[in-house]
Amino acid sequence: MNAVTLAAPEKKMARSASPLFVGNHPALDFLNSLVSQTGTYIDFLRDGGALLHWMQVSQVLPEQAMLAVASFTADERETLAQELRELREYFRHLLFKRQASVSDERQSLDARELDKLSNYLAAAPLVQQLFLTNQKAHLVTHRELNQPAAVVAEVAHLVADLLTNYPVEKVRKCENPNCSIWFNDIKRGPPRRWCTRTICGNRAKVAAHRLRQREHQ
Ligand SMILES: [Zn+2]
């Protein structure tokens, strides 16, 4: 991957200053919290403050998780941001490998490569609790969000859902080689090619038009 450039000039940042939520799955919106559509990366999880803002606007995790993160100390938020950045790059590695394995057997995922994901989940196991409402019992499954590892486990759960329930051919990267965005293609008809038609789709159209013009000169 290209080096992460955070100190891009103001103008270059402007178009991607807000995160894009075009993944059609929360795990992919999480992955796309590190984004480039031009080769210059912006990391929306670059520190604890950026992470909290991203959680507020992304709604990738439920509101309780955002409130839990808001109640963490600044140091805990930094730790959490760092652990999420690590999970995010490990997840990206799994996706690239899973996709490569379709055409090249040598690239197949090894079962041991999933151990790390299992470890993230095991660090903060789910808790089951019974509640009584109007004499009706309800079983609720939740995770105590009292430490950074529990929030990481919540995100790892989303990653596990994507890997186990969504077929490899539907989860793809935008065709713009400079774009880092992944999406889950949920539309019928021809396969989705771009993260956004207005940005990467248009850019490809303009490039193809320029090439045709050059060929006719
Ligand atoms: Zn794109």
> How many Å lie between the centroid of ligand 1 and the Cα of residue 158?
22
Per-residue pLDDT at 205 exceeds 60: yes
State the Cα–Cα distance between residues 93 and 88, nearest whole angstrom.
9
List residues bridging with 141 in a β-sheet: 128
Asked if 150 contacts 120 with a C-beta cutoff of 8 angstroms, the reply is: no
Top-level class of domain 10-215 = mainly alpha
> How many Å lie between the centroid of ligand 1 and the Cα of residue 53?
23
**Per-residue pLDDT band at 107 (split at 50, 70, 90):** confident
Tell me which residues have their CB within 5 A of the ion that is ligand 1.
174, 176, 179, 181, 195, 200
Per-residue pLDDT at 182 exceeds 60: yes
Give residue-wise pLDDT tens across range 122-164: 999 999 999 999 999 999 999 999 999 999 999 999 999 999 9
Measured between alpha carbons, how far is residue 70 from residues 65, 76, 145, 157 in Å?
A: 9, 10, 11, 21
| Site of tokens 């984004």 | 35
**Cα Rg for the chain, rounded, in angstroms?**
20
Report domain extents, the chain. 10-215
> How many Å lie between the centroid of ligand 1 and the Cα of residue 51?
22
> How many Å lie between the centroid of ligand 1 and the Cα of residue 76?
33
Lowest mean pLDDT among 15-19, 23-27, 144-148, 199-203: 15-19
The pTM score is 0.85
> How many Å lie between the centroid of ligand 1 and the Cα of residue 40?
13
> How many Å lie between the centroid of ligand 1 and the Cα of residue 173?
8
List residues bridging with 127 in a β-sheet: 142
| Site of tokens 């670059």 | 46
Per-residue pLDDT at 10 exceeds 60: no
